[in-house]
Amino acid sequence: MKKTINKSVIELVEGDITEMETHAIVNAANAALQLGGGVAGAIRRKGGPAIQAECDKIGGTHVGGAVITTGGNLKARHVIHAVGPRMGEGGEDEKLRNATLASLEVAEQNHLTSISFPAISAGIFGFPIERCAHIMLSATIGYLQRNTTIEKVSFCLLGKESFRTFVDELSRQS
């Protein structure tokens, strides 16, 4: 599914984010930037040790923040590590919104025109997928409605249920 917002496109795909051919993919990171399980583990396995080495040099970032590293052996040239909230820590909606916006800003600051997001915090961090879709899509649509150099934002979703949830939410918002 694709929707045009201003001069940019939002695309929803079901699949493996490590196979995306956008300029950057987003890692649903922890604050220490340790590539463990889930999306981060897949990125570590396919991207190789260079990504973790750069994360170690950076040292970490705050919940709601984002930093950029090489893409290592991935098809994407870069990985943007966005730290989403853990369910129950408080202020989760705002923190997820901030992580989404910070990722888009980091992409733009680094002159990247395409980016792929997973459903940040909806895995082991326990964030409800419906809320995740609503927040991430509304933040992205708002960002793309202004003057931006980002041409394409993909949401690469693992599994039919997550994909369908994002499709339904994008249909409601656009």
> Would the pLDDT of 39 be above 90?
no
Q: What's residue 38's pLDDT? A: 83
Q: Is the pLDDT of residue 174 over 80?
A: no
**Domain spans of the chain, in order of start:** 2-173
pLDDT for the residue 158 = 93
Q: Does the structure show a pLDDT above 80 at 92?
A: yes
CB-CB contact of 28 with 35 (8 Å):
no
**Is it the case that residue 27 has pLDDT exceeding 80?**
yes
User: Can you give the pLDDT at residue 86?
Assistant: 94
The token duo for 173 is 């918002």
The rounded radius of gyration (Å) of the Cα atoms in the chain is: 14
What is the tens place of the pLDDT at every residue in 51-67?
Answer: 999 999 999 999 999 99
* Local structure of 132: helix, strand or coil: helix
Confidence of residue 129 (pLDDT cuts 50, 70, 90): very high
Quick one: how far is CA 44 from the chain centroid?
16
Domain 2-173 has CATH 3.40.190.10: no
pLDDT grade, residue 124 (50/70/90)?
A: confident
Phi-psi region of 91 (alpha: psi -120 to 50; beta: other; left: phi over 0): left
